[in-house]
Amino acid sequence: MRIALDAMGGDHAPAPIVAGAIQAVQSTPDATVVLVGDRARIEPLLPTDYPRDRLEIFHASQAVGMDESPVDALRKKPDNSISRCWQLLAEKKVDAVVGAGNTGAMVAGGLRLRRFLKNVRRPCIATLMPTAKGHCVILDVGANVHPKPLHLLQYGAMGAIFAKHILGRENPTIGLMNVGEEEGKGHELAQKTHELFGNSPLKDRFSGNIEGRDIHRGKCDVVVTDGFVGNVILKLCEGVFDFLMKMVAKEVVEPLTVERAAAQKALDELVLQYEYSNVGGAPLLGIDGICIICHGSSGDRAIHNAIQMAAKYARCRLNEKIVQELDGLPAVDDE
Amino acid sequence: MRIALDAMGGDHAPAPIVAGAIQAVQSTPDATVVLVGDRARIEPLLPTDYPRDRLEIFHASQAVGMDESPVDALRKKPDNSISRCWQLLAEKKVDAVVGAGNTGAMVAGGLRLRRFLKNVRRPCIATLMPTAKGHCVILDVGANVHPKPLHLLQYGAMGAIFAKHILGRENPTIGLMNVGEEEGKGHELAQKTHELFGNSPLKDRFSGNIEGRDIHRGKCDVVVTDGFVGNVILKLCEGVFDFLMKMVAKEVVEPLTVERAAAQKALDELVLQYEYSNVGGAPLLGIDGICIICHGSSGDRAIHNAIQMAAKYARCRLNEKIVQELDGLPAVDDE
């Protein structure tokens, strides 16, 4: 499979991005990575003996800044690396797009193509979160801040397919993020979505409402929510994680005298294992193609993981399975 | 001052509730606590030498269960301890209500009185959250899942007064929870609220949009959001905290051999210091009176802290200051 990688996207691009691509082509024999970006900045980062048949460069003269307005940037910079990645996908020259650049521009670039999978109303961003029982899938974490109940039902279906085929869960359960467990809790969107799930073919997978504290307990394999709440959840977890790990370093590890080094090493490993910015990337589900959006601060390891995720996604034909699953769901909403 | 305490509210009531009350009257000489609940269950928990003039019992024959529907329970159980607490407040027989029972019933009991502070449209629940720069105030965390921009503006004003007089912040800043920092981000509520703050007398305190990761960095003293998002934030933090502290215990502390006990003790202290269920309680702001809502799992320490918070709240005449602050704000919204 062929994967377009936005070499210019990310806080520290292009060096760690290119490094991640080099690792990925070494670890993933069936993947070819197309580095999209400024050839003059990418080429010097490649080792002399890199596999030219599986690591290509596609020149793009412009780049979208991390803080630029996505819509403005895509319009004013026609030769930006994000748009070029999507163009390669639209022309079927690649199977997947991976990038750690401006998230809004990544999503907008994809949505602009208007090539959604059959029956999909709105694509969504899914993210993996560590829990006491392995990872869960949370979606949407930011593609759509004004979804309707049918969109959330579709998120649940797509998330369950993802959990089954990417995470290997036999019978993934779906929970609806809410402010209490009882039916009838929450705002109108939550109430109507609860009703829709309960009357849908997904009802056997549906665990009903879950609360914020249930996510990390691993109560569900899939957590469905609107893009506003999901985005807050994603970034809040990052902030709490960072805060608590610093507190543990200062209050628990630092005062030790004999075993400080061992404790610090264990803490560093824990951070590496659970760091929210390091799980690889978040797939944009529902588009006709594969797109993995990485954290802006992604290092080579995150990029490497994201490329592997894109490859796994392509290998197991996830999109075909999503189309099949959505075929059985109601397709009419109250729009 | 006199404080009504729901002796029957909480996962382990009445024992830890009564124990917290005993500690509170010892530490807070100007407070009298009225234990509201089943006299036959409360009396045996009191030591023989308890100060009868500052620890009273007000009998209530019924109690609202933690999982009961608030509205049903308040209707079917007229002599429940929560309603009796609110009744004492309405009759001005107490200055404050403190309880760890069914949160929905606590809020509903208060809202039912319809005695809001002048100009307050909707009361809200404020909670304190630890950050890298001390505590911040987050509101609303669950009183109102469908607020309007004017409500959020009022939350900001009330939160700033709280941060100033309870947390001692000289010039508290207010941030609006959103999915990105740039103006124009987020859903309609966030966009309109941003505009309202920017054109209000609070504009100098207003830091604009903040993201989930900014809370624990201590970017703002006050974080304003709707009751749905706030409730998810509150419970999510609890879940992440619990999850990470268990991981640290298992991965960092347990493998130590020589200094395991010291590390475990430091971790226990950290947990005690930051445990979200242990900060005392969350004030219901905007009602004509004082109400502190405690976590269902509150132990004696949390109840003790909550009573102290109620006393401090009364002592510094917080409600008078809220009324003054709201007097300067626009009072017309788009309802």
Taking contacts as CB-CB distances below 8 angstroms, the residues of chain A near B213 are 235-236, 238-239, 242
Between A216, A252, A259, which is nearest B242 by CB? A216
User: Is residue B5 exposed (0-12), middle (13-18) or buried (19+ Cβ within 10 Å)?
Assistant: buried
| pLDDT tens, residue by residue, B21-58 | 999 999 999 999 999 999 999 999 999 888 889 999 99
Task: Indicate the pLDDT class of residue A207, thresholds 50, 70 and 90.
Answer: very high
Interface of B with A in 104-123 (CB under 8 A): 104
Taking contacts as CB-CB distances below 8 angstroms, the residues of chain A near B102 are none
* Interchain contact, A145 vs B262, CB within 8 Å: no
Distance from CA of A233 to the nearest CA of B (A): 7
Amino acid A77: pLDDT: 97
| pLDDT tens, residue by residue, B258-274 | 999 999 999 999 998 88
Task: Indicate the pLDDT class of residue A189, thresholds 50, 70 and 90.
Answer: very high
Residue B255 pLDDT > 80, yes or no?
yes
Other Cβ atoms less than 10 A from the Cβ of A51: the count is 12
Between A217, A239, A262, which is nearest B213 by CB? A239
Rounded distance between C-alpha atoms, residue A183 and residue A264, angstroms: 45
Amino acid B59: pLDDT: 98
Residue B275 pLDDT > 80, yes or no?
no
Contact predicate B111/B17, CB 8 Å: no
Asked, as a colleague might, if the bond just before B140 is cis with ω within 30 of 0, I would say: yes
Residues 6+ apart with CB under 8 A from B173: B205, B206, B207, B220, B221, B222
Q: Tell me what the pLDDT averaged over chain B comes to.
A: 93
Task: Indicate the pLDDT class of residue B142, thresholds 50, 70 and 90.
Answer: very high
> Which residue's structure tokens are 């009330």?
B158
Q: Find, in chain A, the residue whose alpha carbon is nearest to that of B209.
A: A232
Task: Indicate the pLDDT class of residue B246, thresholds 50, 70 and 90.
Answer: very high
Rounded distance between C-alpha atoms, residue A306 and residue B235, angstroms: 30
Mutation choice for A interface testing from B71, B136, B243, B247 by most A CBs within 10 A: B243
Beta strands in B78-145, from DSSP E residues, in sequence order: 96-99, 124-131, 134-139
What ipTM does the predicted assembly reach?
0.93
Distance from CA of A242 to the nearest CA of B (A): 8
Q: Could you give the C-alpha distances from A152 to A106, A123, A148, B202, in angstroms and in order? A: 21, 10, 7, 36
* Interchain contact, A263 vs B245, CB within 8 Å: no
Interface of A with B in 272-291 (CB under 8 A): 274
End-to-end CA distance of chain B: 38
Residues 6+ apart with CB under 8 A from A156: A174, A197, A202, A205, A206, A222, A224
Q: Find, in chain A, the residue whose alpha carbon is nearest to that of B146.
A: A187
Interface of B with A in 167-206 (CB under 8 A): 177, 179-180, 182, 186-188, 190
Q: Could you give the C-alpha distances from B59 to A280, B10, B42, B100, B294, in angstroms and in order? A: 58, 17, 9, 17, 21
Residue A63 pLDDT > 80, yes or no?
yes
Amino acid B278: pLDDT: 62
Rounded distance between C-alpha atoms, residue A77 and residue A88, angstroms: 17
Amino acid A277: pLDDT: 56
Question: What is the DSSP track for A277-290?
Answer: GGS--EEEETBSSE
Average pLDDT over residues A130-149: 94
* Interchain contact, A187 vs B247, CB within 8 Å: no
Which of A239, A138, A219, A131 lies closest to A173, judged by CA? A219
Residue B320 pLDDT > 60, yes or no?
yes
Taking contacts as CB-CB distances below 8 angstroms, the residues of chain B near A255 are 262, 266
| pLDDT tens, residue by residue, A102-118 | 999 999 999 888 789 99
* Interchain contact, B231 vs A217, CB within 8 Å: no
Distance from CA of B186 to the nearest CA of A (A): 7
Lowest mean pLDDT among A126-135, A267-276, A310-319: A267-276
Task: Indicate the pLDDT class of residue A276, thresholds 50, 70 and 90.
Answer: low
Task: Indicate the pLDDT class of residue B18, thresholds 50, 70 and 90.
Answer: very high
N residues, chain A: 335
Average pLDDT over residues A12-21: 96
Amino acid A67: pLDDT: 85
Other Cβ atoms less than 10 A from the Cβ of A14: the count is 23
Residue B325 is encoded by which pair of tokens?
């602050």
Amino acid A182: pLDDT: 85
Q: What is the pTM of this model?
A: 0.93
- What one-letter code names the amino acid at B26? Q
Residue B332 pLDDT > 70, yes or no?
no
Which of A166, A326, A186 lies closest to A175, judged by CA? A186
Average pLDDT over residues B189-204: 96
Question: What is the DSSP track for B185-246?
Answer: -S-HHHHHHHHHHHTSTTTTTEEEEE-GGGTTTT--SEEE--HHHHHHHHHHHHHHHHHHHH
Q: Could you give the C-alpha distances from A127 to A285, B226, B281, in angstroms and in order? A: 10, 23, 32
Beta strands in chain B, from DSSP E residues, in sequence order: 2-6, 32-37, 55-59, 96-99, 124-131, 134-139, 174-177, 206-210, 222-224, 282-285, 290-293
Rounded distance between C-alpha atoms, residue B15 and residue B13, angstroms: 5
- Residue B44 DSSP one-character state: G
- What one-letter code names the amino acid at A59? H
Interface of A with B in 22-81 (CB under 8 A): 67, 69
Task: Indicate the pLDDT class of residue A170, thresholds 50, 70 and 90.
Answer: very high
* Interchain contact, A253 vs B263, CB within 8 Å: yes
Q: Tell me what the pLDDT averaged over chain A comes to.
A: 93
Residue B291 pLDDT > 60, yes or no?
yes
Please, what is the Cα angle at B47 between B42 and B50, to 5 degrees? 95
Residue B163 pLDDT > 80, yes or no?
yes
Residue B206 pLDDT > 70, yes or no?
yes
Lowest mean pLDDT among A27-31, B64-68, B84-88: B64-68
Residue A335 pLDDT > 60, yes or no?
no
Q: Is A251 on the interface with B (CB under 8 A)?
A: yes
Torsional sign, CA B153, B156, B162, B168: negative
pLDDT > 90: what percent of chain B?
A: 85
Structural domains of chain A sorted by starting position, each given as residue range(s) with its CATH number in brackets: 2-119+286-318 (3.40.718.10), 124-276 (3.40.718.10)
